[in-house]
Chain A
Amino acid sequence: MFKNNLHHIYAWLLLSPALILMGTFTHIPSILTLISSFFSTGTKKFPSKFVGIENYEMIFDDPIFLEAVINNIWYAIATIVPSIILAILMALIVDSKLSGRVLVRMAYFTPTILPMIAVSNIWLFFYTPEIGLMDQIATNLGFNSQNWLGDKDTVLNCIILITIWKEAGFFMIFYLAALQNIPPELKEAAFLEGSSKFYFFRRITFPLLMPITLFVLINATLNSFKLVDHLFILTKGGPDNASNLILYYIYETAFSFLDSSYAATLTIFLLFALAIISIVQFMFFDKRTHYR
């Protein structure tokens, strides 16, 4: 009996650092957010009061939020797929016997270690019409000058490009580690059997990379809802919300409109959406993933 109790205490003590940290910075704030989403934002004139699901009804009457959601879905798809493909390609390149591959690895990884805000300031000037890098290349090739960030049709794709550039190198590291874990005997055996390089990749390398792909996929999905730093510098969600994303809109609601309750409501909405996406991804891919 006594020994059993001691085991319990021991277990809780071991768990406590993580529990305290997660509690303080994740779980308690989440619960507080949930609670405040049922109240109105208090000001001097209009004190905070219980409003039930009124804030949630507002979501469906908010065209800007709808636009942000649609933008975000496109942003997610258009960043995740290319950055994963790029990451695999880059990993394959720097995993092969290439002269100077340390340099190439470093070059691929550099965007990841740069702070997003600094990077955005650089890209802001890349995209500037007339004097920017993009425009100078385009006009030298005989194309017309293009207002990259000032046009509703191009702005979101410009943002997406930066995100891919920033993320692919990060995911490459995971793939590189996974590639180096694949036993070389498999390769030797496959080539003895006369399989082509592409066939080997399709039937052996890629399936063995699946656990990493699942991991990267979930991370990339979360990132596509989390990564909005560059919007602050580049577009502030404009022009006319064409590059507005959910998290940026939440930030604006909380800190520019000072409406913390509605921001809390939007946060809860995002939280549930992300939870559902993650669960679906796990359930769907778990069956198709071979863990060793």
Chain B
Amino acid sequence: MFCYIKRLKKIIVSTLGVLLFFTTQLFGIELNMYYPVAVGGSLTKIVDGMVDEFEKKNPDVKVNAIYAGNYNDARIKALAALKSGKPAQLSVMFSIDIYELIEQDAIVPFDDLVSTYEDKAWLYSFYPTLMQNGVTDGKVWGIPFQRSTIVMYYNKDMFRKAGLNPNKPPKDWDELVSYGKKIVDSTSSWGVMIPSTGYPYWMFGALTMQNDQVLMNGDGNKTYFDHPSVVGALQYWHDLGNKHKVMPSGTIEWGTLRKNFLEGKTAMMWHSTGNLTTVKKNAKFDFGVAMLPASKRRGTPTGGGNFYIFKNTSAAEKKASLRLIKFMTSPEQAAHWSKSTGYMGVSPASYQTSSLTNYVKTFPPALVARDQLKFATAELSTFQTGRVRKLLDDAIQSVLTGNNSPSSALKKAQMSADKLLKRYR
């Protein structure tokens, strides 16, 4: 009996060995890819599905798509893998990580990898606004993949209840306030919620752009936090909760906001387009999606993740990574990705595929993010981006919780940012 088990063990071990040998033979190249999920939902399944399809078409490449938490976690894991000497070959990471990744000498520009005319044209096939966060120093470092803008989701049933036209969402800041007041007066819900934890600087980027001012320059070494239009934007955000009372005062949690909206506790919410499909699936009421309201103009930052290729990989791996990225961002895949998540199609061509044209015909809200792109700007991204972002986040939160005035909080943030960025000028 004992002998029998021993023999069985031997057989199993040798079979496994042979199997391992053949798999490494079969899959010439193995790629590790980290990717983040920021809005929840079943995004991991969708990514896995796309990767499977790529492997079917490219049997010589094996891809390990590794879900790595939120954007912060993904960056940490990728950089840790890099330092441990067993790096991933490519990764989806926050589009605004670009300066940090360059500073860490972690990534290569795509310009160095593309050689054919066709590949070069591919680099320019994406929406230019989406490329803003991926280009610096005249080179392309990030390819847009899981990209979003901020849109306004609103509860049409609640609009009707408050005597508002459900097909006319507020188009400017004044209307947002007056509509909000009507809703607060006639229902037991809040008018609007703008999340201020997690990514407050991102929501703020929308308000400042609407006030016709960007937050930083294109070289990532100067911020404009104390510009009067920026101060005005923060004043407006503060007033929504503390003066007009159409929004709860204090900070509003990013993670639970969607639930608040779905439970009908707020008539409008500002959130990533990445939530669209989940909201569509779970909303038990008639809802609409609108562009964010304007002050001097409409505006939103883009957001989300780009593909990066790591420096510390062999030429063959880089080539295979490029192939994978080209597949994942191809019009058909981008259309599929957009349909199943709500993130936008990253290229104009993706909106011309039959699958996405048919989808937006039955579900027009899916177009809002794309149409808003022409008003969009880059997301806050500078050298020392973690610290600079925290400075702005803290300033915003100190104002929203009523502990500081917009002008003094932002002046302080600007002074500290200047101190950090001085040596990059």
Shortest Cβ distance from B105 into A: residue: A44
> What CA separation (Å) do A46 and B102 show in the bound complex?
12
A152 at the interface (CB under 8 A from B): yes
Q: Give per-residue flags for A163-194: 1 if the beta carbon is below 8 A from chain B beta carbons, else 0.
A: 00000000000000000000000000000000
Chain B residues contacting A125 (CB-CB under 8 Å) are 256, 259
Query: Most chain-B Cβ atoms within 10 A of its Cβ — which of A45, A64, A252, A256?
Result: A256
Let me know if A130 and B265 touch, CB within 8 A.
yes
**Which of A44, A46, A147 interacts with B249 by CB under 8 Å?**
A147
Chain A residues contacting B190 (CB-CB under 8 Å) are 130
Let me know if B256 and A152 touch, CB within 8 A.
no
- CB B73 to nearest CB in A, in angstroms, measures 9
Count, A-B residue pairs, CB within 8 A: 92
B228 at the interface (CB under 8 A from A): no
Let me know if A240 and B390 touch, CB within 8 A.
no
Given contacts A124-B253, A130-B260, A131-B263, whether A44 and B103 have CB atoms under 8 Å apart is: yes
> What CA separation (Å) do A189 and B400 show in the bound complex?
63
> What CA separation (Å) do A172 and B249 show in the bound complex?
39
> What CA separation (Å) do A125 and B401 show in the bound complex?
20
Let me know if A129 and B248 touch, CB within 8 A.
yes
Q: Give per-residue flags for A124-145: 1 if the beta carbon is below 8 A from chain B beta carbons, else 0.
A: 1100111100000000000001
- CB A214 to nearest CB in B, in angstroms, measures 38
Let me know if A128 and B256 touch, CB within 8 A.
yes
**Which of B253, B265, B393 interacts with A150 by CB under 8 Å?**
B253
**Which of A44, A124, A128, A239 interacts with B401 by CB under 8 Å?**
A239
Given contacts A124-B256, A128-B253, A131-B265, whether A240 and B394 have CB atoms under 8 Å apart is: yes
**Which of A128, A129, A256 interacts with B390 by CB under 8 Å?**
A256
Let me know if A238 and B393 touch, CB within 8 A.
yes
A230 at the interface (CB under 8 A from B): no
**Which of A45, A151, A233, A255 interacts with B250 by CB under 8 Å?**
A151
Let me know if A238 and B265 touch, CB within 8 A.
no
- CB A163 to nearest CB in B, in angstroms, measures 19
Shortest Cβ distance from B70 into A: residue: A232
Interfacial residues of chain B within 73-113, with CB under 8 A of chain A in the complex: 76, 79, 100, 102-105
B357 at the interface (CB under 8 A from A): no
Query: Most chain-A Cβ atoms within 10 A of its Cβ — which of B102, B253, B400?
Result: B253
Tell me whether chain B's interface is mostly helix, strand or loop, or mixed. Answer: helix
> What CA separation (Å) do A235 and B256 show in the bound complex?
12
> What CA separation (Å) do A256 and B248 show in the bound complex?
29
> What CA separation (Å) do A105 and B398 show in the bound complex?
43
> What CA separation (Å) do A147 and B102 show in the bound complex?
40
Interfacial residues of chain A within 22-54, with CB under 8 A of chain B in the complex: 43-46
A149 at the interface (CB under 8 A from B): yes
Q: Give per-residue flags for A225-264: 1 if the beta carbon is below 8 A from chain B beta carbons, else 0.
A: 0000000010110111110000000001001111100000
Interfacial residues of chain B within 314-356, with CB under 8 A of chain A in the complex: none
B386 at the interface (CB under 8 A from A): yes
B296 at the interface (CB under 8 A from A): no
> What CA separation (Å) do A130 and B394 show in the bound complex?
25
- CB B220 to nearest CB in A, in angstroms, measures 12
Let me know if A152 and B103 touch, CB within 8 A.
no
Q: Give per-residue flags for B387-409: 1 if the beta carbon is below 8 A from chain A beta carbons, else 0.
A: 10010011001101101000000
B251 at the interface (CB under 8 A from A): yes
**Which of A45, A130, A240, A256 interacts with B403 by CB under 8 Å?**
A240
Shortest Cβ distance from A260 into B: residue: B83
B197 at the interface (CB under 8 A from A): yes
B133 at the interface (CB under 8 A from A): no
**Which of A44, A130, A236, A252 interacts with B104 by CB under 8 Å?**
A44
Chain A residues contacting B103 (CB-CB under 8 Å) are 43-45
Let me know if A239 and B250 touch, CB within 8 A.
yes
Chain A residues contacting B105 (CB-CB under 8 Å) are 43-44
Shortest Cβ distance from B83 into A: residue: A260
> What CA separation (Å) do A145 and B384 show in the bound complex?
39
Let me know if A238 and B255 touch, CB within 8 A.
no
Let me know if B386 and A239 touch, CB within 8 A.
no
> What CA separation (Å) do A235 and B401 show in the bound complex?
14
**Which of B197, B255, B256 interacts with A239 by CB under 8 Å?**
B197
Let me know if B248 and A147 touch, CB within 8 A.
yes
Let me know if A258 and B386 touch, CB within 8 A.
yes
B66 at the interface (CB under 8 A from A): no
Let me know if B401 and A150 touch, CB within 8 A.
yes
- CB A45 to nearest CB in B, in angstroms, measures 7
Mark A residues whose CB is within 8 Å of B: 43-46, 64, 124-125, 128-131, 145, 147, 149-152, 233, 235-236, 238-242, 252, 255-259
10 contacts between A and B (CB under 8 A): A43-B105, A129-B248, A145-B248, A147-B251, A151-B250, A235-B197, A241-B394, A252-B390, A257-B386, A258-B386
List 10 other contacts, CB 8 Å, given A239-B400, A258-B104.
Answer: A131-B265, A147-B248, A150-B252, A151-B250, A239-B196, A240-B397, A252-B390, A255-B72, A256-B72, A259-B387
